[in-house]
Amino acid sequence: MSERPMNVLFLCTGNSARSIMAEALLTRLGHGRFNAYSAGSFPTGVVNPNTFPIVESLGLDPKAYRSKAWDEFAGPDAPPLDFVFTVCDNAAGEVCPIWPGQPMTAHWGVPDPARIVGTPGEIAVAFSETARLLKNRIGLFVALPFEKLSSMSLQARLAEIGASAEQPA
């Protein structure tokens, strides 16, 4: 692995729930080996309030997270990205900007808990399930032996991670 932490961007259309949770999860699970970011192609401008309990459960400050456009990560002042993961199907199908750093990309789609209509308990369960799926994938990602994998092998492993844990346990 390189001397500097690897920069990872999680993308979703609204950047209000899934990508924010993924950013928080990698921040916690990555133990300083990664700089986690999130953004959206059409950000809502606000973080879904049901995301905050997930962020807080990781011991992180929810005020540190905000909904933002992916343009912030495509400009000349953006950090060079090592990885870009889409966590929603819409973002995966959109034409993305040219990312600095020529990152590896993969699609890690998970259900959108923000679309759930139901009781507060049902909504909380949906958010927890999405967080669980993301945590599984991010756990597999941070455990990869980056220094031992060729670019082709790493890209294949990223795709495998995206295909893992599709169904709830």
Whole-number pLDDT of residue 3: 76
The reply to whether 9 belongs to the active site is: no
Confidence band, pLDDT 50/70/90 cuts, at residue 11: very high
CATH class name, domain 6-157: alpha beta
Whether residue 167 has pLDDT greater than 50 = no
Each residue's pLDDT tens digit, 21-41: 999 999 999 999 999 999 999
Question: How would residue 166 be classed by pLDDT, with cut points 50, 70 and 90?
Answer: low
Catalytic residue from among 8, 9, 12, 106: 12
Please indicate whether residue 141 is annotated as part of the active site: no
Q: Is the pLDDT of residue 61 over 50?
A: yes
Q: Which range, of 22-31, 56-65, 87-96, 129-138, averages the lowest pLDDT?
A: 87-96
Whether 88 is a known active-site residue: answer yes
Which of 60, 96, 104, 149 does the annotation list as catalytic? 96
Would you place residue 1 in the very low, low, confident or very high pLDDT band (cuts 50, 70, 90)? very low
Catalytic residue among 25, 55, 88, 133: 88
Share of the chain above pLDDT 90, in %: 80
Q: pTM of the predicted model, to two decimals?
A: 0.91
| 69-83, 86-100, 112-126: least confident range | 86-100
Task: Among 21-30, 35-44, 134-143, 158-167, name the one with the lowest average pLDDT.
Answer: 158-167
pLDDT above 70 covers a percentage of the chain that reads 92
3-state secondary structure string across the chain: CCCCCEEEEEEECCCCCHHHHHHHHHHHHCCCCEEEEEEECCCCCCCCHHHHHHHHHCCCCHHHCCCCEHHHHCCCCCCCCCEEEECCHHHHHCCCCCCCCCCEEEECCCCCHHHCCCCHHHHHHHHHHHHHHHHHHHHHHHCCCHHHCCHHHHHHHHHHHHHCCCCCC
For the chain, domain boundaries = 6-157
